[in-house]
Structure 1
Amino acid sequence: MLAMLGPSGSGKTTLLTALGGRLGGRLGGSITYNGKPFSNAMKRNTGFVTQDDVLYPHLTVTETLVYTALLRLPKTLTKQEKSRHAEAVIEQLGLSRCRNSIIGDHFLRGVSGGERKRVSIGQEMLINPSLLFLDEPTSGLDSTTAQKIVSTLWELANGGRTVVMTIHQPSSRLYYMFHKVLLLSEGNPLFFGKGCDALDYFASVGFAPSVAMNPADFLLDLANGVSTADSHEDQTAVKQTLVSAYKANLSESVKSELANEIQIHLPTDSKQFGRWSNTWWDQFSVLFRRGIKERKHESFSALKIIQVLVVAILSGLLWWQSDISHLQDQVGLFFFANGFWGFYPLFQAIFTFPQERLMLAKERSSGMYRLSSYFMALTLGDLPMELVLPTVFFTITYWMAGLKPAAGPFFSGLFVLLYSVLCAQGLGLAIGAAVMDMKAATVLGSVIMLTFLLASGYYVQHVPVFIGWIKYLSISQYAFKLLLGTQYSVGETYPCGGGGRRCLVEDFPAVKAVGLDGQVVSAVALALMIVGYRLIAYVALMRIGVIKK
């Protein structure tokens, strides 16, 4: 068990992330394992626990580990065997008491911080790694909980694994559990060796503690350039002295020692560890089930259901039994429904990928699944949840508003509304994936959708030619045209003026600006948008995660 010590900014996390093959950007140098270049096959069989516990809050401890086992363990194992592996990890990490408790988050009460950390460690232990990296595993935990976590890691190390962790300020109890210590200062090593030898080494180069103290505290003082409690020496000079002392006294011996170390038993057989642990379909089915179980709580929250029901009933009361003699009112109802179900799914979808970003980056970095299987599982998994509420809205409003009491107009209108919802959802996914900032994505989505609404032909019926091209990009314009086409047909009349006079519906100003023709073109345009926006979202997501295959 190797602990990397050093003050904030000393390079602990950067070094650990680089060793784990998860550091992006333009890099120089090389990383080798047992003298061989680091490969994706090695990465998929090396555990890496991030500082922040990235877990789904609504899943239980057992569900979290079972889903991870189904995704990470090889396809040579059956589902039952993978589940047994998860159960064994739960027992090994002492999580049996909270196995059926949800993970929780800041807004949802769940397991404790220490248990959450052990779940994160458990996800990596499922693959039985020879090498386990951990970034600040005791961060934010009380001393007793931190002791339990490090004790667990100590047991794992004694079980034949190599554990490498960064840790900021361990207690003396924790310090003496580390087999080896690496002390860093501004990216430079100051000491590498057995923790119990550190004080003797620094004393030999002229730096000894003036009082009895926690060795870790003394090492951190030195890494900050503070040699004693009442020292007035130049901190930069102290650091330079320690760096020079390391190069003169330890550097060569460390290199020779590492060359003769017992090698880490990492898999190198590329045939045994292929590109992916499971087939595309297995990844898709697990991600599909997990996604539905996690997101159903948000999609079907009481607040959202009440919101839609209130708007539906209020709309039905405002447009109560408005027959064709009130054509302007009916057209206004369709435009409102079109606008409401343009914005609503747009903003639901905008938040999807920004909220999933950390999870996607974590799991893709471990090579758990293909991006395509994740994207298809998320897209198809959201469909039933995204389409139920607009169906409820349209059913309530349609019959309360007194629109044509026939199955044909009703179902075709419902189909068009759901069709436009899919298109608006695709636009939201594309914006969220491209921007990845919830505030910026919300502003951009609002501007785009408002532009589409303004150009749809209801508010402005005589749009100047130089800006009229916007309507050809407008979801609202095509959806509005299709909705009108479900209720009215060419040649249909409505009462206008007195004396039983009737006029053509297509000549009514609010309808004429959009037209009742070109229904097929509108349907095709929306279909292209449904596919096109999702392709944009997929391409934008390809930049997330280290393994981009």
Structure 2
Amino acid sequence: MEEVQQIPSRLDKRNHSVDMRDSPRCTLRTSKMSYSVPGPKGTRKTILSNLDLVFEQASLTALMGPSGAGKTSLLSVLSGNAPSGSVTGSVLVNEKPSPRGFKRISALVPQDDVLLSSLTPLESLNFAARLRLDVSASERSEQVNAVLSSLSLTSHKDTLIGSVDKRGLSGGQRKRVSIALELLINPSILFLDEPTSGLDSKMAEDVTSILMSLAHDQGRTIICTIHQPSYRIFSSFDNLVLLSSGKVVFANTVANTENYFSSNPLNSPPPNNENPVDFYMRILQDSDSTVDFPSAWLASPLNAKNKLATVGRWGPGELEFVNRKAYAVSRLRQFWVLFHRFCVDYVKDKTKFIGGAGLKVTVGVMIGVVWLNQAKPDGDGKHTQDSIFPTQGALFVCLFSSVMDTLFPTVMVMPTTKSLLLREYKNGVYSLPPYFFAQLLANVFFQTVNSVLMGVPIYLLVGLNMARWRIFVFLGCLTVMSSIGAALGLFIGSLVENTQQAQQVVMPTLVPLELFSGYIIPYDKIPDWSLWIYHISFFAYALSLLEINQFEGVVFSDCVVPDVPDGTCPIVCFETGEDLLESMNVYVTDVGKDILALAVTFSALAGCGYYAMRSLVGGWDGGFRNGFAGGLLGGCGGGGEERRGESESESRKVEDLKVPLVGTV
């Protein structure tokens, strides 16, 4: 094979450099390590089998193999983020079990660049530094600038990151931002999942050159999966681990690859007109081949030499440094930084901020115009019977809009939010409670603003009760309903996999609560068997509260009961608002009960949302999430889905799963 020139190192070291003074140099080793997941009918499916590998410090290693070979699973196990399953054998860091603070010295860069599109690289790194570096503000700024400069991002630091539908950084620049976020902590070990995927050849070479410099110039241990690299990129790696069906086919230097496959077990070199990488992938997937590649590797002299590779050792005080604590900053500081980031992201995203506020004002004006002056009293301060039903309709539509306008946006953004959560959580950036409550509080904060923007036009245009303080009760109720919508959105969004499933769940969940709220079907018309739905409907309690707020103390001027013949039903009319409320099974004394019920509903949904999110990231049993979501989707017509381990394609799904299981390997 004709020699191809290696990619030169392009890490920018002119102004700043990120050094390793605070991070120990590490060698990673696996000893008889296997990984399996639950299969059908109580069986287990083996994904990785009996791996003995060494990843030396200051080296760049490629993990390769056909689809379903176990590349991503190996990367997940090594980084301590394996999906739910069983790991046997050992994963050693400098010949010691993975330390408690392993995530403080290692980082995982996922295949997809999960970034907040409305932020700039500088803003993203500043927020990450506040979460991951327990140092002074000046030291954080110095580290951020050093990382930006080293990855040649300084000239783009104030450019919006952007996304597929929002103009911003190029694909290669976004990949460099993803790497930069992890370099902030000076990781000794860096894991990357297909860092060149989706990039053109020039961008892919730039990323590879950066990885080379991080390994060779800064002494980091870098391990990455890679798919169909060019020969120029492939030749730039130091080592290659080639897998097939979860077993090692080759694990040595890239320089020895061609000699090994040319002599044993193939006894033929790759064709001159073909990329050797493509050749290896093809022969490993050849169903007619009689060569047992894993056994051939076990018997190879190169494998015996590989076991004698020099491994690292912990220096004085280094293990104590790593074991110091799991997170760099306190939970309270995590909460504040995350809340600040959610707010900045919301305000800078014009679709969320300006679009959301504009929508609320528009909806408020539309509702107000449709029911213009329907609740306004006459010159004597009295109301008419004809105003009752339109007023109730306006109140109900306000409540419905408050929930839906918050619920759907929250659910729809959850796929991106979940991806970012999984990336940062698995890398040990923060614990889950600060993240969940920061997101929930940010939603509540902005929905309070939006509730005022929608509620004030409605209140004034419809002519609702202007007695003292009642407008604040009205706005407060809308805010609570918006908060309930946000909590329900987080709950459903954590359960489902995509927006299509979310749509299948949302409406069947809300429609019964709306129907049996006491407005669409009056209380006295609700069948006995379905009264329980009325008693759990938060729409019913909110509507009761708004009706009390509107009709308490109201006098109707046109309640004159005419004489009617015996045996004829009298005309029903109400002299006071209290009479009207009692006819709907609503009493002025219910205010405390209604407020308590709404508070309990919000707390319960927030608790369920937290539990679902905890199951999502793998902290608790995921059976709750899978079972609950499966039940909802099954009841809504969504098809069930077979779980892991039932086919070769399913093994690939297991590989791609990015749910961390935090624990000792």
Q: Report the TM-score, using the length of structure 1 for normalisation.
A: 0.91
| TM-aligned CA deviation for residue 271 of structure 1 | 7.0
Q: Aligned partners of 1:511 and 1:413: how far apart in 2? A: 22
From the superposition, tell whether residues 348 and 267 of structure 1 become closer, same or farther in structure 2 (CA, over 3 Å): farther
Residue 482 of structure 1 is aligned with which of 541, 545, 548? 545
Deviates more, 1:382-391 or 1:283-292: 382-391
Residue 538 of structure 1 is aligned with which of 598, 610, 630? 610
Q: Aligned partners of 1:210 and 1:376: how far apart in 2? A: 58
Number of positions where the alignment pairs a residue of Structure 1 with one of Structure 2: 535
From the superposition, tell whether residues 429 and 180 of structure 1 become closer, same or farther in structure 2 (CA, over 3 Å): closer
Residue 118 of structure 1 is aligned with which of 171, 176, 189? 176
From the superposition, tell whether residues 503 and 100 of structure 1 become closer, same or farther in structure 2 (CA, over 3 Å): same
CA deviations on 1:22-75 (whole Å, 9 max, x unpaired) are: 1122223231222211234113311211111111111101111121122122x2
| TM-aligned CA deviation for residue 519 of structure 1 | 1.3
Unaligned runs of 5+ in 1: 226-233
CA deviations on 1:93-147 (whole Å, 9 max, x unpaired) are: 1111211111111111110111111111111111111211111111111111111
Tell me what 1:41 maps to: 101
Tell me what 2:186 maps to: 128
From the superposition, tell whether residues 8 and 198 of structure 1 become closer, same or farther in structure 2 (CA, over 3 Å): same
From the superposition, tell whether residues 138 and 300 of structure 1 become closer, same or farther in structure 2 (CA, over 3 Å): closer
Alpha-carbon contact 2:100-2:322 (below 8 Å) kept: no
| TM-aligned CA deviation for residue 89 of structure 1 | 0.5
Alpha-carbon contact 1:70-1:83 (below 8 Å) kept: no
Tell me what 2:457 maps to: 396
Alignment of 1:237 with 2:290, yes or no, is yes
Tell me what 1:385 maps to: 446
Q: Aligned partners of 1:163 and 1:271: how far apart in 2? A: 18
Q: Aligned partners of 2:242 and 2:103: how far apart in 1? A: 25
SS of 1:484's equivalent in the other structure is helix
Q: Aligned partners of 1:547 and 1:204: how far apart in 2? A: 41
Alpha-carbon contact 2:357-2:453 (below 8 Å) kept: no
SS of 1:4's equivalent in the other structure is strand
Q: Aligned partners of 1:88 and 1:302: how far apart in 2? A: 35
| TM-aligned CA deviation for residue 508 of structure 1 | 3.4
Tell me what 1:292 maps to: 343
Residue 476 of structure 2 is aligned with which of 394, 404, 415? 415
Tell me what 1:249 maps to: 300
Alignment of 1:80 with 2:129, yes or no, is no
Residue 405 of structure 1 is aligned with which of 449, 462, 466? 466
Cα RMSD (Å) of the superposition?
A: 2.5
Tell me what 2:167 maps to: 109
| TM-aligned CA deviation for residue 432 of structure 1 | 2.2
Tell me what 1:199 maps to: 258
Q: Aligned partners of 2:509 and 2:451: how far apart in 1? A: 21
Tell me what 2:526 maps to: 463
Alignment of 1:138 with 2:196, yes or no, is yes
SS of 1:191's equivalent in the other structure is strand
Tell me what 1:304 maps to: 356
CA deviations on 1:243-270 (whole Å, 9 max, x unpaired) are: 3321111465145323x34458795226
The structure showing larger relative contact order (alpha-carbon pairs under 8 Å, at least 6 residues apart) is 2
Alignment of 1:71 with 2:131, yes or no, is yes
SS of 1:32's equivalent in the other structure is strand
Tell me what 1:229 maps to: none
| TM-aligned CA deviation for residue 398 of structure 1 | 1.1
Alpha-carbon contact 2:258-2:269 (below 8 Å) kept: yes
Residue 281 of structure 2 is aligned with which of 202, 205, 220? 220
Q: How does 1:509-548 map to 2 (within 5 A)?
A: 512-545=584-617, 546=660
Deviates more, 1:400-409 or 1:278-287: 400-409
Q: Report the TM-score, using the length of structure 2 for normalisation.
A: 0.76
From the superposition, tell whether residues 190 and 433 of structure 1 become closer, same or farther in structure 2 (CA, over 3 Å): closer
Alignment of 1:50 with 2:50, yes or no, is no
Residue 495 of structure 1 is aligned with which of 528, 544, 558? 558
Q: Aligned partners of 1:194 and 1:408: how far apart in 2? A: 76
Alpha-carbon contact 1:494-1:502 (below 8 Å) kept: no
Tell me what 1:438 maps to: 499
Identity percentage over the alignment? 30
Q: Aligned partners of 1:66 and 1:509: how far apart in 2? A: 55
Q: Aligned partners of 2:110 and 2:329: how far apart in 1? A: 24
CA deviations on 1:173-210 (whole Å, 9 max, x unpaired) are: 22221111222222222222221221112222213224
Alignment of 1:507 with 2:566, yes or no, is no
Q: Supply the AA of the counterpart residue of 2:366.
A: L
| TM-aligned CA deviation for residue 298 of structure 1 | 5.8
From the superposition, tell whether residues 235 and 295 of structure 1 become closer, same or farther in structure 2 (CA, over 3 Å): farther
Tell me what 1:22 maps to: 81
Alignment of 1:211 with 2:272, yes or no, is yes
Bigger fraction of residues in helix: 1
SS of 1:170's equivalent in the other structure is coil
| TM-aligned CA deviation for residue 494 of structure 1 | 4.3
Alpha-carbon contact 2:84-2:661 (below 8 Å) kept: no
From the superposition, tell whether residues 547 and 39 of structure 1 become closer, same or farther in structure 2 (CA, over 3 Å): farther
SS of 1:414's equivalent in the other structure is helix
Q: How does 1:249-288 map to 2 (within 5 A)?
A: 249-250=300-301, 252-258=303-309, 260-262=310-312, 267-269=318-320, 273-288=324-339
Alpha-carbon contact 1:131-1:264 (below 8 Å) kept: no
SS of 1:503's equivalent in the other structure is coil
From the superposition, tell whether residues 430 and 72 of structure 1 become closer, same or farther in structure 2 (CA, over 3 Å): same
Unaligned runs of 5+ in 2: 1-59, 377-382, 563-572, 618-659
Q: Aligned partners of 1:335 and 1:139: how far apart in 2? A: 50
Q: Aligned partners of 1:402 and 1:435: how far apart in 2? A: 41
Q: Aligned partners of 2:531 and 2:302: how far apart in 1? A: 71
Alignment of 1:164 with 2:164, yes or no, is no
SS of 1:164's equivalent in the other structure is strand
Q: Aligned partners of 1:176 and 1:264: how far apart in 2? A: 31
Alpha-carbon contact 1:299-1:386 (below 8 Å) kept: no
From the superposition, tell whether residues 534 and 362 of structure 1 become closer, same or farther in structure 2 (CA, over 3 Å): same
Alpha-carbon contact 2:70-2:246 (below 8 Å) kept: yes
Tell me what 1:314 maps to: 366
Tell me what 2:121 maps to: 61
SS of 1:448's equivalent in the other structure is helix
